[in-house]
Amino acid sequence: MGHFFLVLYQIGIFVMLLSLGVLCRKIRILNEVSLYSISQLVVKVALPAFIFVNTASSTSREVLLGALPILLAALCLYAVLILLSTVLEKAFRLKGNRRNVFRMCLMFGNGGLIGVPLAVGIYPENALVYFGLITVIDMVMIWTYGVALSYDVESKGAQGYRLTIRKFLRMMINPALISVLLSIVFILFGLKLPGIVNTVLEKTGNLLSPLGMIYMGAMLSWKSVKASLRRTEIYAEILLKMLVVPLLFFFVMLKIGLPEDMAGTFAVFAGLPTFMVSMMLAKNNGSDGDYAVGFVMMTTLACLVTYPVMSLLQSVLPC
């Protein structure tokens, strides 16, 4: 039950920060221009700094090598999510752009803003190592398959998405993945940063959770939930992707002898709400961006319930 109360504590922090974001938007401290700047600061500065300094300075080579099974788990997760989305698309008769956006929203989660702070709060010793390794697979999937799903396939003359080596490399060279790879190099070769540099990165990384959640609260306050409440496929995603699948992986990983903190961190990743960038990609590439907004909004609100429920079930169900 200890982890359950830790999750409640972290969720309580998220709720307060989300509420602060809503308030800042309502009293017009934040607008579209300032929110864009905050998102850039979070994604390109705070998140990479957080990943690097916490991983490189607190993890050994032995722990990193012992965490490699999580890469296989990540590949298995994406295979399961592709299968699950195929079944749900047919069940809800989704076609064209809506089908592709649904699959993108189901598969890709908001790890940087929600998953990392939550997992580190519950498993402070090794969660960032596990998340860092998962991120390698996650980034490849998002910026290849995820981008392909975001393109318009319905309009006359729509060209869809063609991946080239140049496009792939440009997408993969991003601050978060570079941070992951650099931290792995530092761990493997036992490198250390000067104390003052480490302190600056640590303070910069600490901006991740407050700024990210304030940003999300402000974004969510812009949209009405009424249209999303009528989309039953969203509830299917919340139940299956954010509860059933994470619990399944958690108990399977424990059964095969993997550490509890690895299984728990992976469950946090598997149960993430929809990746916020999904709606941006869909809008920018001519697909159904408003449909994606509904998933981001509803799943983000739902995770305030699903994570505590998941933690409770992990503690009371037999392994």
Mean pLDDT estimate for the chain? 86
Give the structural domain span for 90: 2-316
**How sure is the predictor about 238, in pLDDT bands with cuts at 50, 70 and 90?**
very high
CA dihedral for 143, 146, 148, 150, sign (positive or negative): negative
Q: Which residues pair with 109 in a beta bridge?
A: 274
pLDDT one-digit tens code per residue, 204-235:
988 988 888 888 788 777 766 667 778 899 99
Return the pLDDT at 153: 82
CATH number where 264 lies: 1.20.1530.20
Higher pLDDT among residues 111 and 312, named by residue: 312
Q: Are 130 and 67 in contact (CB under 8 A)?
A: yes
Region of poorest pLDDT, from 132-136, 145-149, 219-223: 219-223
The structure tokens 């402070």 sit at 124
Number of domains in the chain: 1
Q: Is the pLDDT of residue 112 over 70?
A: yes
**How sure is the predictor about 44, in pLDDT bands with cuts at 50, 70 and 90?**
confident
Separation of alpha carbons 112 and 180, rounded Å: 12
Return the pLDDT at 65: 82
pLDDT one-digit tens code per residue, 285-294:
788 887 888 8
Higher pLDDT among residues 38 and 6, named by residue: 38
Phi–psi pair at 28, nearest 5 degrees: 65, 30
Longest dimension (CA), the chain: 58
Q: Is 30 helix (H, G, I), strand (E, B) or coil?
A: coil
Residue type, 92: F
- Within a 10 A sphere around the Cβ of 218, how many other Cβ atoms? 24
